[in-house]
A = this chain, B = another copy of it.
Amino acid sequence: MYRSHNCGELRITDTTKEVTLSGWVQIGRDLGGLTFVDLRDRYGITQVVFNLEENENLCLAARKLGREFVIRVVGIVKERSNKNPNRPTGDIEVEALSLEVLNASKVPPFTIEEETDGGEDIRMNYRYLDIRRPNVRENLIFRSNLAVSTRAYLANQGFIEVETPVLIKSTPEGARDFVVPSRMNAGQFYALPQSPQTFKQILMIAGMDKYFQIVKCFRDEDLRADRQPEFTQIDCEMSFVTRDEVLDTFEGLTKHLFKQMLDVTLHDFPKMSYDEAMERYGSDKPDIRFGMEFVDLTKKAKGHGFPVFDNSEFVVGICAKGIAESYSNKDVKKLTEWMQRPQIGAKGLVYIKYLPGGQVKSSVGKFYSDEVLLSWKDDFDAEEGDIVFILCGEKEKTQKQTNELRLEMGRRLELMDPAEFKPLWVVDFPLLEWDEDSNRFHAMHHPFTAPKKEDEERMLLGDHETMKNLRADAYDLVINGVEIGGGSIRIHDRDLQSRNFDLLGFTKEEAEDQFGFLLGAFEYGAPPHGGIAFGFDRLCAVLNGQNSIRDFIAFPKNNQGRDMMIDSPSYIDDEQMKELSLKTTIEK
Contacts and interface: CB of A to CB of B under 8 A. Distances in A.
Contact of A176 (B183, B192, B218, B560): B183
A37 interface: no
Given A147-B161, A179-B580, 18 more contacts: A24-B527, A42-B208, A70-B526, A104-B525, A128-B206, A129-B206, A165-B230, A166-B192, A167-B230, A172-B573, A176-B183, A180-B180, A184-B561, A185-B569, A186-B584, A189-B569, A202-B555, A516-B567
A342 B177 CA distance: 44
9 contacts: A2-B240, A2-B241, A43-B209, A128-B521, A141-B160, A163-B554, A166-B166, A168-B566, A189-B572
A151 B151 CA distance: 9
A-side interface mostly: loop
Nearest to A198: B566
A192 B573 CA distance: 16
Contact of A103 (B232, B492, B569): B492
Given A523-B105, A524-B105, A585-B582, A218 B166 contact: yes
A132 interface: yes
A22 B189 contact: no
A242 interface: yes
Number of copies: 2
A167 B560 CA distance: 13
A203 B493 CA distance: 48
A404 interface: no
Contacts of A40: 207
A162 interface: yes
Contact of A527 (B103, B137, B163, B493): B103
Contacts of A375: none
A260 to B, nearest CB: 13
B572 A137 contact: no
A395 interface: no
A3 interface: yes
A567 B584 CA distance: 26
Interface in A138-194: 140-141, 143-144, 147-148, 151-152, 155, 160-170, 172, 176-192
A438 interface: no
A554 B164 contact: yes
Given A230-B165, A582-B582, A185 B560 contact: yes
A167 B166 CA distance: 12
Interface of A: 1-3, 6, 22, 24, 40-43, 68-70, 102-106, 108, 126-132, 137, 140-141, 143-144, 147-148, 151-152, 155, 160-170, 172, 176-192, 198-199, 202-203, 205-210, 216, 218, 220, 222-223, 229-230, 232, 240-242, 492-493, 516-517, 521-528, 553-555, 557, 560-563, 565-573, 576, 578-586, 588
A20 to B, nearest CB: 10
A416 to B, nearest CB: 29
A189 B570 contact: yes
Contacts of A568: 167-169, 190-191
A229 B167 contact: yes
Nearest to A223: B184
A170 B554 contact: no
A340 to B, nearest CB: 31
B132 A206 contact: yes
A588 to B, nearest CB: 6
B137 A105 contact: no
A560 B585 CA distance: 28
A148 to B, nearest CB: 5
Given A70-B525, A180-B180, A525-B105, A42 B209 contact: yes
B232 A163 contact: yes
A102 B176 CA distance: 35
Nearest to A105: B525
A523 B106 contact: yes
B144 A160 contact: yes
